A and B are shown apart, each in its own frame.
Chain A
Amino acid sequence: MTRHIRHAAAFCVLLLVALLVNAVRVQVVSAPEYDRNPANRRPDIARYQQPRGDILAGGEPVTGSRDTGQHLRYERTYRDGPLYAPVTGFASQEYGTTLLEHAADGVLSGADPLLAPLPLWHDVTGAPNPGGDVVTTILPAAQRAAYRGLGRRPGAVAAVEPATGRILALVSTPSYDPGELSGNGKAALRSWRRLNRDPGRPMLNRAVRRTYPPGSTFKVVTAAAALDAGVAGDLDAPTRSPDPYPLPGTRTRLTNGSGGCRNASLRAAFERSCNTVFARLGVDVGVRRMTATAEALGFNDGGLTVPFPVARSTFDASVDRAQLALSSIGQYNTRATPLQMAMVAAAVADRGRVRTPYLVERTTRAGGGVLSAAGARPVRQAMRPMTAARLKELMRDVVEHGTGGNAAIPGAVVGGKTGTAQHGVGNSGAPYAWFVSWAQGARDLEPRVAVAAVVEGAPADRGEITGGGLAAPVARAVMAAVLGS
C-alpha cells in the first residue's frame, strides 16, 4: 500500500504544479492582455480614484473634483464652466476628454511619468501619483470681458500677448457647461445628446476650431505683402487703382462699399477698406509672394497646437489672377481662425515677428514643484520691421479716423482693422463681423495685446452688421481689460 500512497502523493504534486503553472499564466503571462481588455473596469477605477489636477487661470483654479462615493470616484467640476469651456474642454467619465483636459491629461490624471518623485517610483510603490496642475496664460479679466462682450451672439475672441505669444483670452459663444458631461449617469447622457443636437453647436470652439472668411481684415496681410515686395511704397501716394476694378480675365467688376477709392492712397484705401485697391495690390504682388507672406504669418499650417490643435487657416496658392484678387481681400478660399487673425495683429504690433501662441504657462506637481514651463519660443520674421511700423500707422488711422472708431480707448494707442465677410452661396448668409486690433497703454513700451473678434450676425439685421459696429466694441473691452490689469 505504501507504494500506492506515494503514487497518490505524486498525483497531488501534479495537481499543485498544474495550479501554479496556470497561476503564472493568468497573473504574469496573460496579465497585460487581461489588463487591456476593454471590459476590465480597473483602469477607469484607477483613473478616477483620486482628484484630478486643476487648470488654473489668473492663479485661481477654474476646475475642481467632486467625490461621488461611487466606483468611479471623483468627478470633474468647473467654476465658470461656460466661460472657460473653450480653454478647458470637458473631462467626462463617459465621453472622454477634449481641449486642455485632453492635451494635458497625463499631468492632470497623474499618469505622466514625470510626476513621479523618483524614476520608477510608481512601479515600486504601486501608489498612483497625485494629479498635477496646469497653469494657463489666460487673463481672467480679459476672458470675462470677451465673454460678456459677445453676450448672446454667436462668435469668438482670441487675444494674445504680442511680445510672447501667450494667449490671454479664448472665448467662443454660445458656450456650454462642461461639468454637465463629467459623470457617467443619465444626466450626462441627456446633456451629451442635447449639446450635440443643438444647432448653435455650443461645443464647437470657434476661436481655434472654426475658420471664417476673414474679409477685409485680411487686407492687413495684403498690405504687408505689398509693402514688403515694394509694390506699394509711400503710404500717401496715389495707387492708380480703377474703381470699379475688373477682375483680370473676367467681366466681373469688383466694387466698393464706400466711395473715394479711385486712385486712393494706401492710407485712404486702408481707412475706407477699398476692395478695389487691395484686390489690385494682391494681383500686382503675385501669388508667390502673397502666399509667402500669408504662410509666414501662420496660414496653411495644419500643425499648430496650443497645446490642443488649431484648425488650419488657408490661403489658396493655386489660383488664377481673378481668384487671387478675391483671395487678397479675404474672400474666395481664404479662411482664418480668430486665433490666426490675432496672430496677424500681434505680428504687426511686434515689429513683424510671429510667435507661436501658447496656452500653458507651466505644469506643476500637486505640491507646486514645476514640471515644465513655457520656455523661449521660436520667432519668425513675417515682414520687415519697417513694414510693420507702417502697418501700425495704418491701423491706428483706422481707429482714430476710420471705420474702427468704436475700438478707441482714451489714453491708449490702439490700431485695428474692421472686416465684414460675406459667405454662403451667392453671399446669402448673414455676414461675419470682424475686428482685429492691438493696443498699447500710455506707459507701455510696446503693445500689450492683440485681439481678433468675430461676431456671427443674425440674418434679420444684416444691414447693421459691420465689423466696426459689432466686433470692435468686443475687441475694445478685451483690450481695455488687458491694459487695466
Chain B
Amino acid sequence: MTKAGTGITVAAADAPAPVARLPRRRGIELALIVVAVLLSVFGYCNVGLAQHGTLPPGAAGYGAGLGVLALLAHLAVRLRAPWADPLPLPIGVLLNGLGLVLIYRLDLETPGDRAAPTQLVWSTLGIALFIVIVLVLRDHRLLQRYTYVCVAAALVLLTLPILFPAVNGARIWLRVAGFSIQPGEFAKVLLAVFFAAYLAANRSALAYAGRRVWRLQLPTGRVLGPIVAVWLVSVGVLVLERDLGTSLLFFGLFVVMLYVATGRLGWIAVGLLLASLGAVAVGWLEPHVHGRVEDWLHPFASIEAGRGPNQLAQSLFAFAAGGVTGTGLGLGHSVLIGFATKSDFILATAGEELGLLGLTAIFLLYALLVERGLRAGLVLRDPFGRLLAVGLSSLVALQVFVIAGGVTGLIPLTGMAMPFLAQGGSSVVTNWAIVALLIRLGDSARRPAARS
C-alpha cells in the first residue's frame, strides 16, 4: 500500500507538464456491458430453474444474441463516439435484458400469448437504430437544421392513429401487417428536439422581452405563439386519443424545458396553473379519467362493492407480496393483474419477484441514466445541446415517474410504457434512440476538440 502510493507520487513528480487529458473509458463500458448481459442471462436461467427446475433451453442463444447486439452497439460507440459517457449504454442493455426476462417469465403463465420473441425483434431494431444514430449523426447540432421537420413529423405521427380503430379505448396504435406501432412514442423525441431547438433560438426573447405584470415577466405573443400552438395541438390530440399519460408527459417536458431555457419561475407558476386547471377539467368531464382518479383514491372500492379487486388493487397486492427481498424470479403471482401485466404493469412483476431491493435498483438505474444526461447538459456549451440533454433526461425521468407512480398508487394510473422494461416495440425503439442521442451529447461534451 505504502510502496505503491510512493511509486505513484514519484511518477507524478517526474511528469514534466501534466496534460489534462480525459480518459475515454471505453473499457469500463465494455466491462459493464458484460456484467449487464451476464445479469440478464442469470435472470433468464433463474426463471427457468424456478418454474421447471431446469435451465431454459434458449439461455445460451438468448445470452449470445443480447451479447452480440450490445457488442455491436459498443463498437459503434468506440468508432464514432469515443469520448461518450460509459454508463448509458450498459444501463440500456441491462434494463432491456431485464425487461426481456420479465416478459419471458410472464409468457410462461400465458402459453397462448408469447410476447418475448416479438420484444426481442423490437429490441434488435432498437439497437440497430442506436447504431445508425451513433454512426450517422456526427454532431448533435445537425439536428437544429430540422427543427420544423421535427415538429411537422411529430404532429403527423400524433394525428395518424385517429384514422385507425381504437384499441382498448385509446386511439394510439397503428396496425400495419401484424405489427402494432405507437407513433406517439416516436413523437416524444421529435418534440424534445423541436422544443430544444426552438427554445435555444428564442430564449433571450422569451426571457427578457414582453410586459411585466406584478412580479411575472410575460413574454410577447410573437415568440410565445408558435410554441403554445404546438403544445395545444399535441395535448388536444392526446385528449382526443384518450392517452393521458403521454399528455401529462408532454406537458411536464414543456414546462421543464421552458424553465431551464428562460429561468423564469413565472413559467412554472403559469404551467402549474394550466396543468391543474386542465387536470381538474379533464378529471371532471372525462368519465374514463374520472374513474382512474376514483381508483387511485379508493383502490379497494371494487372489492368492498363485491366486484373483486381491480388492476390497481392487484398491482398493490403484487408489490406487497414482494416485500423487501421479493419472492424470487418466476415465483410470484403478478399474472393475477390480468390485462396489461406485461406492459403497463410490468413493474409489479419486478416488485413482487425482486422485492423492494430489486425495485430500488431499477429506479436507481433510471436515476443514473437521467443523471448522466443532465451532467452532459451541464458540461455542454451550446444552448441547443444543453436543452436537448435536459429534455431527453426529463423525458425518461417523467415517464418513469408517471407510470411507476401510477402502478404503486402514488398518482392516478395512466397507461404508459416503463422505458425498456415494458412490452411495446415503439417504446423500446424510442428509448434506444434517446440513449443514442445521450451518447452523442456525452461525446460532444467531453471531446477534447470541443473543449478547446
**What residues make up the interface of A, taking CB atoms closer than 8 Å to B?**
1-9, 11-13, 15-16, 18-20, 22-24, 26-28, 30-35, 37-42, 45, 126
Nearest residue in A to B256 (C-beta to C-beta)? A8
Which residues does chain B contribute within 8 Å of A23, judged by CB atoms?
Answer: 319, 351, 356, 359-360, 363, 408
Nearest residue in A to B302 (C-beta to C-beta)? A39
Which residues does chain A contribute within 8 Å of B378, judged by CB atoms?
Answer: 2, 5-6
Q: Told that A18-B405, A38-B303 touch, could you supply 11 new A-B pairs with CB distance under 8 A?
A: A5-B386, A7-B259, A8-B260, A12-B371, A19-B400, A26-B408, A31-B323, A35-B317, A39-B308, A42-B317, A42-B336
Judge whether B86 is part of the interface by a CB distance below 8 angstroms: no
Cα distance A30–B313 when bound, in Å? 13
Nearest residue in B to A36 (C-beta to C-beta)? B320
Nearest residue in B to A2 (C-beta to C-beta)? B378
Smallest Cβ distance from B234 to chain A, in angstroms?
21
Smallest Cβ distance from A89 to chain B, in angstroms?
28
Judge whether B321 is part of the interface by a CB distance below 8 angstroms: yes
Q: Which of A3, A8, A27, A41 contacts B319 (CB 8 A)?
A: A27
Smallest Cβ distance from B355 to chain A, in angstroms?
7
Nearest residue in B to A27 (C-beta to C-beta)? B356
Select the residue from A30, A41, A42 with max chain B CB neighbours within 10 A: A42
Nearest residue in A to B360 (C-beta to C-beta)? A20
Interface members, chain B 366-392 (any A CB < 8 Å) = 367, 370-371, 374, 377-378, 383, 386, 390
Q: Which of A5, A27, A42 contacts B390 (CB 8 A)?
A: A5
Cα distance A28–B323 when bound, in Å? 6
Given A19-B405, A27-B359, check contact A8 B394 (CB 8 Å): yes
Given A27-B359, A39-B313, A40-B309, check contact A12 B394 (CB 8 Å): yes
Which residues does chain B contribute within 8 Å of A28, judged by CB atoms?
Answer: 323-324, 356
**Judging by beta carbons under 8 Å apart, are B263 and A3 in contact?**
yes
Smallest Cβ distance from A99 to chain B, in angstroms?
30
Given A27-B322, A40-B309, check contact A45 B263 (CB 8 Å): no
Cα distance A13–B394 when bound, in Å? 11
Which residues does chain A contribute within 8 Å of B256, judged by CB atoms?
Answer: 8, 11
Smallest Cβ distance from A40 to chain B, in angstroms?
5
Cα distance A39–B313 when bound, in Å? 9
Which residues does chain A contribute within 8 Å of B421, judged by CB atoms?
Answer: none
Q: Which of A1, A37, A126 contacts B300 (CB 8 A)?
A: A37
**Judging by beta carbons under 8 Å apart, are A39 and B300 in contact?**
yes
Q: Which of B320, B321, B397 contacts A30 (CB 8 A)?
A: B320
**Judging by beta carbons under 8 Å apart, are B336 and A27 in contact?**
no
Cα distance A1–B309 when bound, in Å? 48
Cα distance A13–B409 when bound, in Å? 19
Smallest Cβ distance from B350 to chain A, in angstroms?
11
Judge whether B219 is part of the interface by a CB distance below 8 angstroms: no
Which residues does chain B contribute within 8 Å of A39, judged by CB atoms?
Answer: 300, 303, 308-309, 313, 317
Which residues does chain B contribute within 8 Å of A22, judged by CB atoms?
Answer: 405, 408-410
Cα distance A279–B408 when bound, in Å? 76
Which residues does chain B contribute within 8 Å of A26, judged by CB atoms?
Answer: 316, 319-320, 351, 408-409
Which residues does chain A contribute within 8 Å of B331, judged by CB atoms?
Answer: 126
Given A23-B408, A26-B316, A27-B351, check contact A8 B308 (CB 8 Å): no
**Judging by beta carbons under 8 Å apart, are B390 and A8 in contact?**
yes
Q: Which of A1, A3, A8, A40 contacts B317 (CB 8 A)?
A: A40
Smallest Cβ distance from B363 to chain A, in angstroms?
6
Smallest Cβ distance from B395 to chain A, in angstroms?
11
Cα distance A5–B370 when bound, in Å? 12
Smallest Cβ distance from A137 to chain B, in angstroms?
38
Q: Which of A3, A18, A34 contacts B320 (CB 8 A)?
A: A34
Smallest Cβ distance from A4 to chain B, in angstroms?
4
Which residues does chain A contribute within 8 Å of B404, judged by CB atoms?
Answer: 19
Q: How many residues of B contact A (CB 8 A)?
A: 50
Which residues does chain A contribute within 8 Å of B322, judged by CB atoms?
Answer: 27
Smallest Cβ distance from B303 to chain A, in angstroms?
4
Judge whether B401 is part of the interface by a CB distance below 8 angstroms: yes
Given A15-B397, A19-B401, A26-B409, check contact A1 B320 (CB 8 Å): no
Which residues does chain A contribute within 8 Å of B260, judged by CB atoms?
Answer: 1, 4-5, 7-8
Smallest Cβ distance from A122 to chain B, in angstroms?
13
Judge whether B45 is part of the interface by a CB distance below 8 angstroms: no
**Judging by beta carbons under 8 Å apart, are B370 and A12 in contact?**
yes
**Judging by beta carbons under 8 Å apart, are B317 and A37 in contact?**
yes
Interface string of B315-334 (1 = CB under 8 A from A): 01101111111011001010
**Judging by beta carbons under 8 Å apart, are B356 and A8 in contact?**
no
Which residues does chain A contribute within 8 Å of B103, judged by CB atoms?
Answer: none
Select the residue from B321, B325, B374 with max chain A CB neighbours within 10 A: B321
**Judging by beta carbons under 8 Å apart, are A42 and B321 in contact?**
yes
**Judging by beta carbons under 8 Å apart, are B374 and A5 in contact?**
yes
**Judging by beta carbons under 8 Å apart, are B356 and A24 in contact?**
yes
Smallest Cβ distance from B305 to chain A, in angstroms?
11
Cα distance A20–B410 when bound, in Å? 10
Given A19-B404, A22-B405, check contact A12 B397 (CB 8 Å): yes
Which residues does chain A contribute within 8 Å of B377, judged by CB atoms?
Answer: 5
Which residues does chain A contribute within 8 Å of B355, judged by CB atoms?
Answer: 27
Which residues does chain A contribute within 8 Å of B324, judged by CB atoms?
Answer: 27-28
**Judging by beta carbons under 8 Å apart, are B410 and A18 in contact?**
yes
Nearest residue in B to A46 (C-beta to C-beta)? B333
Given A23-B351, A37-B300, check contact A1 B405 (CB 8 Å): no
Cα distance A4–B206 when bound, in Å? 15
17 contacts between A and B (CB under 8 A): A5-B378, A8-B259, A8-B260, A8-B390, A8-B393, A19-B408, A19-B410, A20-B363, A22-B405, A22-B409, A23-B356, A24-B356, A28-B323, A28-B356, A31-B320, A32-B320, A37-B309
Judge whether B84 is part of the interface by a CB distance below 8 angstroms: no
Judge whether B261 is part of the interface by a CB distance below 8 angstroms: yes
Which residues does chain B contribute within 8 Å of A9, judged by CB atoms?
Answer: 371, 374
Nearest residue in A to B332 (C-beta to C-beta)? A42
Nearest residue in B to A35 (C-beta to C-beta)? B320
Cα distance A7–B268 when bound, in Å? 12
**Judging by beta carbons under 8 Å apart, are B261 and A42 in contact?**
no
Smallest Cβ distance from B31 to chain A, in angstroms?
26
Smallest Cβ distance from B201 to chain A, in angstroms?
14
**Judging by beta carbons under 8 Å apart, are A16 and B363 in contact?**
yes
Cα distance A16–B371 when bound, in Å? 11
Nearest residue in B to A24 (C-beta to C-beta)? B356
Cα distance A39–B405 when bound, in Å? 23
Cα distance A87–B266 when bound, in Å? 78
Cα distance A168–B173 when bound, in Å? 71
Cα distance A2–B308 when bound, in Å? 51
Cα distance A26–B315 when bound, in Å? 10
Which residues does chain B contribute within 8 Å of A1, judged by CB atoms?
Answer: 260-261, 263, 383, 386
Cα distance A2–B379 when bound, in Å? 9
Cα distance A1–B394 when bound, in Å? 15
The 5 A-B pairs of least Cβ separation, nearest first, read A34-B320, A31-B320, A22-B410, A39-B303, A39-B309
**Judging by beta carbons under 8 Å apart, are A8 and B374 in contact?**
yes
Which residues does chain A contribute within 8 Å of B351, judged by CB atoms?
Answer: 23, 26-27
Smallest Cβ distance from A208 to chain B, in angstroms?
37
Smallest Cβ distance from A38 to chain B, in angstroms?
8
Smallest Cβ distance from B227 to chain A, in angstroms?
17
Cα distance A38–B409 when bound, in Å? 19
Which residues does chain B contribute within 8 Å of A35, judged by CB atoms?
Answer: 317, 320-321
Interface string of B276-318 (1 = CB under 8 A from A): 0000000000000000000000001001000011000100110
Cα distance A38–B304 when bound, in Å? 10
Cα distance A67–B131 when bound, in Å? 50
Nearest residue in A to B322 (C-beta to C-beta)? A27
Select the residue from B317, B323, B336, B374 with max chain A CB neighbours within 10 A: B317
Which residues does chain A contribute within 8 Å of B400, judged by CB atoms?
Answer: 15, 19
